Every structure is written in C-alpha cells, then in structure tokens.
Amino acid sequence: MARKNPRIRGHLSSNDEMMVVNIGKKKGGWRLWLLAFILLLVMGISVYLLFFSDFFRIKNIEIIGASDELRYQIREMAGWETDYMILFDENKFSEAIRERWNEFSRVEIDKNWPDNVTIQLFVQEPKVVWNSESVLYLLDEQGVVLGIVAEEERMDKYAELPVVGDLSGLPVQEGVKVVSHDFVEFVYGARDNIESSIGKEIEAYEVRETTFELRVRMKEGYEVYFDTLRPVEAQVEKLNIFLKNNILVNDYIDLRVPGEVYYI
C-alpha cells in the first residue's frame, strides 16, 4: 500500500498511470504580511506625530491688528479649541472671532506648518456712503452696512468717501451686505482712474436697476455708464481715448459694450 504524501495529490488515469501534482505551500505570503506591517507602522507614526507629539503642536500664534489685551484673549480662546495644527479649523475660528468682536470686517488665518498660526484682523472702516431714499448709510469694504450717518457728520468725517445714490430699491439693514466687495472696489477704481488718467472731477455715483451697472456723473454735466463686471481700467482708457477727440456730449457716454462707445 502506497503512503500518502500531503504535498502531492494523484489520481489514476484510464491507463492506471499515476499523475503527480505538487501543490506545496505558496511562496511570497510573507511579503504581504511585511507590507501590512509597514503600512500599520507608517499609520501609527503619522497618528502619533499629528495628534500626540509636540512636532505639530501649536507653539506660536501671531496676531496682527490687535491690542496686547486682545491678543491675549484670542490666544486664550485658541487654546480652548485645540493644541494641534491638524485639529485647528481656521474658518470656524475666524467666524468665532467675528461673532465675539463685531468690529472686525475680516479675519484672515493662515496655518504655517508645522507649528505656527498667523491671525490678521481688519477693523471695519467706512468705504462708501450709500444713499437710499435720502437716508445715508456707511458701508465697509465688504459692502456691509455699518450704520446710518447724518449729512453733517458725513461732511465732517467722511467727506472723501464716494456717495452712491441707489435708485434700485435694494433693502438696507445694519449688519447686512448690500453690495459686493467687487462693487466697492470698482467704485474706487473708477474714481482713481478718472482723476489720475483723465484729470476730470466726478460729481456723483448712481445705481439705477442693478449694481452690475454704475453711472458716474461728471461735473461737465454728462454721465458715464460703466459695466461693473468688466475691468474698470480698460473702460476708463476707452473713455480717455474718446474724450481726446473733443466730441460734444450732451447726455451720456456708454462704455458697457466691449470695443464700442455710444453717446448722446
């Protein structure tokens, strides 16, 4: 009687001949175990470095635009959140600062790996006077309403701010955004470029139906129509070229169509 070998399996063919097949242990299994071990080791080291070691622990918080007392309060507030960079949510912390100190129009936070955080605070400053139904509102650079201002106070404190008359009927409420930051930037861009490039004085700014269009009334008596979605510099340059032709304008100059100038 033949002894059975666990490493071979056989069967008898129709000719009673034995076929032997070697099915020994598979080679290379240890490589899979080694790879799994290495992956687990790397994961363990990563978790340790990110959540438990001092390497990614926040060591310095630089705060720009705040008093010493406020810096202390913000650092203390940050310590309540977390000590580790990986867990520090800069967007959430920015919102928390603005909720606690509403005098800041913008808070920018940068995580400088591995262990530094920079916080920059921007104080709300009036940038535009918004005239809606003869009521004057101060807007910051983000287009958020800071409050109502009387005409005497405006002339005394904010005479240099552009006054935009709103005929579109936009709802105005303190603490709520009325226009976009891009619109505020466009108003300043129009003013600065017209005064520096053309050398003409502006009398007033006006919004009729939408903030996508800005009308600028010049002291000569005519209006200039701007498309606030297009670069202001190119439109002012087109205006400058047009005015150099000494064309008589009675009513308006329309710059809103690219490559064209319409006037009456």
Cα 74 from Cα 250, distance rounded (Å): 58
Q: Which residue has the higher pLDDT, 252 or 103?
A: 252
Q: Has residue 86 got a pLDDT over 90?
A: no
Q: How confident is the model at residue 137 (pLDDT cuts 50, 70, 90)?
A: very high
Q: Which whole number is the average pLDDT over 50-54?
A: 68
Please indicate, yes or no, if residue 111 is contained in any of the structural domains: yes
The pLDDT of residue 38: 83
Q: Among 47-51, 82-86, 113-117, 259-263, which stretch is predicted with the lowest mean pLDDT?
A: 47-51
Q: Among 51-65, 124-138, 185-199, 203-217, which stretch is predicted with the lowest mean pLDDT?
A: 51-65
Dihedral (CA of 134, 137, 141, 142) sign: negative
Q: Which whole number is the average pLDDT over 1-6?
A: 49
Q: Which of 76, 107, 123 is the last residue of a domain?
A: 123
Preceding omega of 114 cis (within 30 degrees of 0): yes
State the total domains in the chain: 2
- Asked whether the beta carbons of 213 and 202 are under 8 A apart, the reply is no
Does residue 159 share a domain with residue 254?
A: yes
CATH of residue 234: 3.40.50
Report the share of the chain in percent with pLDDT over 70: 86
Q: Which of 104, 123, 142 is the last residue of a domain?
A: 123
Tens of pLDDT, residue by residue over 161-179, are 999 999 998 999 988 999 9
Residue 60 phi, psi (nearest 5): -145, 135
Tokens of 54: 């001092």
Please indicate, yes or no, if residue 256 is contained in any of the structural domains: yes
The pLDDT of residue 13: 46
Q: Which residue has the higher pLDDT, 9 or 60?
A: 60
Q: According to the per-residue pLDDT averaged within each range, which of 53-57, 113-117, 181-185 is highest?
A: 181-185
Q: Which whole number is the average pLDDT over 192-213?
A: 95
Q: Which residue has the higher pLDDT, 104 or 198?
A: 198
Cα 98 from Cα 83, distance rounded (Å): 21
Does residue 139 share a domain with residue 256?
A: yes
Q: How confident is the model at residue 244 (pLDDT cuts 50, 70, 90)?
A: very high
Per-position DSSP letters for 32-57, written without gaps between them: HHHHHHHHHHHHHHHHHHHHTSSTTB
Q: Which of 100, 123, 146 is the last residue of a domain?
A: 123
Rg (CA), the chain: 35
Per-position DSSP letters for 141-164, written without gaps between them: TTSBEEEE--HHHHHHH-TTS-EE
Please indicate, yes or no, if residue 218 is contained in any of the structural domains: yes
Q: Which residue has the higher pLDDT, 135 or 5?
A: 135
The pLDDT of residue 51: 65
Supply angle C-alpha 229, 235, 238, rounded to 5: 155
Q: Has residue 124 got a pLDDT over 80?
A: yes
Does residue 164 share a domain with residue 135?
A: yes
Cα 190 from Cα 245, distance rounded (Å): 21
Does residue 259 share a domain with residue 184?
A: yes
Tens of pLDDT, residue by residue over 8-17, are 444 444 444 5
Mean pLDDT for the chain overall: 86
Nearest to 102 by CA among 88, 81, 122: 122
The pLDDT of residue 28: 64
Does residue 240 share a domain with residue 136?
A: yes
Tens of pLDDT, residue by residue over 10-49, are 444 444 454 444 545 555 678 888 787 788 878 877 766 6
